[in-house]
Structure 1
């Protein structure tokens, strides 16, 4: 069985040795090499031919972010897992958007680290269980805000009137605009909300707490 080759980047030699010892115990994982941030450049990584690079951001966050950017740009097939002290949505989201495939806290249990390596190797994205809930909640809130901000105040007003079963003619009279203008707003609302029917629009409005 071909082993997964892992390359470690960390400015903390003690932790590096500990991780190396633990990972080499796994039957399908081997540590191909390690480096501190100042030495972890394109050539060093290329020479070790790893499948996955694990970067401990907590020991050098700035260098770590720079290294993540370099790897995801220069080595498209190479997968990156980061270890961090941050468990908030913005930190996780920023790393995932940069191309990271795995996000774990620095004190992650070794069994979950092994699980993350195997999942990432299968081209899955892995977020540590204890922080996954925060990320999902943050993702939902971000999308909620985007959806609401995508609509103009007038469009939100019209959605609420549609929900009260007013016709376009009724809405035009209530808002002192033409029926044609109301119809234009309705088309824009349909497009922005990504719906095709009144039922879909009402579901969207309820989901985003517009009604």
Structure 2
């Protein structure tokens, strides 16, 4: 179970994100905080695995949260959520030690993918650029858009087509078996299939 603390002063966004993330069996929101000060006061006694933090907040902003977490609890992963696609902001977050930077208008699956990646210990300093580069593939765009799939889900579909089992996929991607099972459940739901055979038949003509 990945324990997540979320700091964002926009209540509707925070509650919506909480509901979205808790649809995943291995994600648990331990607290919602309207500013960074309330978050850092709380995590002093109840450490999450991952912090999701907005940048612009009253009392203590996201940069303050990032500085506090990396100084006092470096084992906590920090994912910055921002509506500003600006190079200087991105670079400052990465310089200050953010584990990932995700735009608020990104596909929800990209955020879930990022949470799993940083939790598993893979640093994603170029996450924003990875999304942009991936989107340059017209086929990738069309496939993902049609079925609302994340990059990770497409990657797992490719391995399933190759006949890999969950344990093999987990080993190949350095993820837990539970994480792979969650991804497969989501893939089946999005593609509206109920078995590996149905999945393979549905994507057999797609040149992944």
Q: Return the TM-score normalized by structure 1.
A: 0.56
Would you say the 8 A contact 2:3–2:48 is kept in 1?
A: yes
Counterpart Cα distance in 2 of 1:33 and 1:40: 10
- 1:33 corresponding residue in structure 2: 31
Could you tell me which of 112, 118, 141 is aligned with 2:116?
118
- Structure 1 unpaired stretches of 5+: 134-211
Structure richer in helix, relative to its length: 1
State the match for 1:53 in structure 2: 51
Q: Is the Cα–Cα contact under 8 Å of residues 24 and 30 in structure 1 kept in the other structure?
A: yes
1:41 is displaced (CA, Å) by 4.6
The answer as to whether partners of 1:56 and 1:106 remain within 8 angstroms in 2 is: no
**Alignment of structure 1 residues 22-171 onto 2, 5 Å:** 22-37=20-35, 39-58=37-56, 63-126=61-124, 127-128=127-128, 129-131=130-132
Name the CA distance, whole Å, in 2 between partners of 1:125 and 1:131.
18
1:135-160: CA deviation from partner (whole Å, max 9, x where unpaired): xxxxxxxxxxxxxxxxxxxxxxxxxx
Alignment check: 8 A CA contact 1:50 1:78 kept = yes
How far, CA to CA, are the matches of 2:68 and 2:96 in structure 1?
10
SS in 1 for 2:90: helix
Q: 1:20 to 1:54 in 2, by over 3 A?
A: same
Note the alpha carbon deviations across 1:93-120, whole angstroms, 9 max, x for none: 2111111001000122111110000001
The answer to whether the 8 A contact 1:58-1:85 is kept is no
Question: Please, which runs of 5 or more residues in structure 2 have no aligned partner?
Answer: 135-208
After superposition, the Cα gap between the structure-2 partners of 1:90 and 1:39, relative to the gap in structure 1 and judged at 3 Å, is closer
**What's the offset of the Cα at 1:131?**
5.0
Larger Rg belongs to:
1
Alignment root-mean-square deviation, CA: 2.3
The TM-score, its normalising length taken from structure 2, stands at 0.57
* Equivalent position of 2:201 in the other structure: none
